[in-house]
Structure 1
Amino acid sequence: MTGTRTSTEVGLSTDGLTKSFGGVRAVDAASVTFQHGRINALIGPNGSGKTTFFNCVTGMIRPDSGTVDYRGTAITGRAPHRIAAAGIGRSFQLCRTFGRLTVLENVLVAQRDRSFARLLRGSRSAEDVDRARGWLHRVGIDHLEHAEARDLSYGQQKLLELAGVLMAEPETIMLDEPAGGVNPALIDRIADLVRGLNAEGRTFVIVEHNMELVMSLSDHVVVFDRGRPIADGPPDDVRTDPAVLEAYLGV
């Protein structure tokens, strides 16, 4: 665990956030606070509403009720590009890359002022290309810049998606299962990247099922069950919380 940061400044928060699909309430009046400048984790059993919560926060779906605030500014219901412009970037549970574009082109498209038309016209500055190559180097796949994204392994696609997120220069990064389907060596690389980027000032909110990774990486953990938070705090406190043990183990 990092253990060196003591800031409790509020970063991303929700109040009464709710989203239903038919008769199923996926997010149930969830009021959550994530700490700015820290590595926050959002965990919970399958079907507990974590990804739906992410989608409501980042504008992919509109919540039925409740509010989302980012560093004191209401962002509830904004379009995804406007939330990105506010300083929040995200990855997805299933990688979203453009298979027929090269690795370098994927990162260039991910700029905050991205435009397919600009890319297809070859309208890309040397500065943009250098910055994209810098992020590819940072995540360790710069040697693949001319490969098409569809030819990458799944783990390499995860790294490519992260490079694209970083290209937009977000202040807060929300990662949805970054270790899912990834081999242990690559999980270690992703963890090191998160620690390094956090040390440089970026906030993280991470949905993850790999409990070893969560407990070793996070400063602050929020636990969801049935669409709402049931516990939050430092990893060592959360792992022994009776409500968490009941949600996961039924004990």
Structure 2
Amino acid sequence: MLKVKEAVKEFNGFRAVNRCSIDVPANKITGLIGPNGAGKTTLFNLISGGLTLDTGEVWFNQERIDQLPAHKIVHKGLYRTFQIPRALEKMTTIENLMLVPANQLGEKIWNSWFRNKQVKAEEQKIKARAEEVLGFLELTHVKYELAGNLSVGQKKLLELGRALMSDPDMILLDEPAAGVNPTLMKKIAENIRKLQQQGKTFLLIEHNMDLIMDICDKVIVMNNGEHLIEGTPQEVRNNKEVLEAYLGVEEGHNDIAG
């Protein structure tokens, strides 16, 4: 579903991503791991349109997207979340979700005057969808709570909810478990699995190796801006090159999740 070909990105002479190529299969959960500074977030920004490639290509659903702005990439069905949730904190949880769908009739003021019935009907449809998403994420009890008052874990779930409101084919998750307590982390993992079973594709950056090993079908390892290896979680867990050269685990300790 997603192909990155020979991606290169430099910042003031420092090559953050160095001829990196990855393939992400459809309807699977793929993990992207690496130490701080490996280039993972930069690669996410290149894929989602937050940064422009120096050289290389990004293809999504057999269409080249690296020359498109971020909002057009979202409309192609590729949605990206952030490590630090970007909720509108002075709006309620349900309002955050209802803002997501693009090109709403109510965005044009004259429609409120001349197409009032259609505007209200669309708004009710969007609200119903938002309530459905909140129910799926088990956030119904905070739907009228200001987003700024939510816990870190609830904000991460709200980020996932905002992604679902755009009905994407693929979701890029940037550290969904960071700062989240174990109970909510389990809930996030369960939701990702359910969505994958419903046909969604995921690529996630994550430092929590237990989560990576638990939910991922495939794991891609980056180091120094480059694609190092890829394989099943078990193959990556036991790879000597990953253990010694990349994760810095001493020989004999072959459990990267521990």
1:137 and 2:135 aligned: yes
- Assess if the C-alpha contact under 8 Å between 1:224 and 1:230 holds in 2: yes
Aligned residue for 1:83, secondary structure, equals helix
1:181 to 159, 162, 179: 179
**Deviation of the 1:112 alpha carbon:** 3.6
CA distance in structure 1 between the partners assigned to 2:106 and 2:148 by the alignment: 18
2:246 alignment partner in structure 1? 247
Q: CA deviation at 1:113?
A: 3.4
Amino acid at match of 2:26: H
Give yes or no for the alignment of 1:232 onto 2:230: yes
Q: 2:207 aligns with which of 198, 206, 209?
A: 209
User: CA, structure 1 residues 110+118, in 2 after alignment: closer, same or farther (shift >3 Å)?
Assistant: farther
Amino acid at match of 1:61: L
Q: Which residue of 1 aligns with 2:44?
A: 54
After superposition, the CA RMSD in angstroms is 1.8
One of 75, 84, 87 as aligned partner of 2:77: 87
Q: Distance in 2 between matches of 1:115 and 1:238?
A: 49
1:168 and 2:158 aligned: no
| Whole-Å separation in 2 of the counterparts to 1:185 and 1:77 | 40
What corresponds to 1:26 in structure 2?
Answer: 16
**Whole-angstrom distance in 2 between the partners of 1:115 and 1:146:** 23
Q: What's the TM-score once normalised by structure 1's chain length? A: 0.91
Quick one: distance in 2 between partners of 1:113 and 1:45? 40
Q: Match of 2:26?
A: 36
The worse-fitting range, judged by mean Cα deviation, of 107-116 and 20-29 is 107-116
**Equivalents in 1 of 2:3, 2:107: separation in Å?**
36
CA distance in 2, matches of 1:80, 1:118: 22
**Contact 1:109 1:116 (C-alpha < 8 Å) held by counterparts:** no
Kindly state the Cα deviation for residue 115 of structure 1 after the two structures are TM-superposed.
8.9
Which of these residues, 221, 224, 242, is aligned with residue 223 of structure 1? 221
Q: Which amino acid in the other structure matches residue 43 of structure 2? A: F
What secondary structure, in the 3-state scheme, does the structure 1 residue paired with 2:247 have? Answer: helix
Q: Which amino acid aligns with 1:219?
A: D
The residue number in structure 1 matching 2:87 is 97
Q: Indicate the SS of the match to 2:220.
A: strand
Q: May I ask how many residue pairs the two structures share in their alignment?
A: 240
Structure 2: give runs of 5+ residues left out of the alignment: 113-118, 251-258
Offset of residue 147 of structure 1: 1.1
Runs of 4 or more, structure 1, over 2 Å off, are 112-119, 121-124
Q: Secondary structure at the match of 1:193?
A: helix
CA–CA separation in structure 2 for the residues paired with 1:89 and 1:19? 21
Once the 2 structures are TM-superposed, how far is the Cα of residue 118 of structure 1 from its aligned partner?
6.2
* Cα distance change of structure 1 residues 115 and 19 upon mapping to structure 2, 3 Å threshold: farther
Which residue number corresponds to residue 111 of structure 1?
Answer: 101
Q: CA deviation at 1:77?
A: 2.4
Shift of 1:131: 0.2
Q: Counterpart in 2 of 1:66?
A: 56
Q: Runs of 5+ in structure 1 lacking a partner? A: 1-10
- Show the counterpart of 2:194: 196
Name whichever of 223-232 and 140-149 sits farther off.
140-149
> SS at 1:137's partner residue?
helix
User: 1:16: how far off?
Assistant: 0.7
Counting aligned pairs with the same residue, the percent is 36
Distance 2:108 2:217 in 1: 40
Normalising by structure 2, report the TM-score: 0.89
Amino acid of the structure 1 residue aligned with 2:129:
R
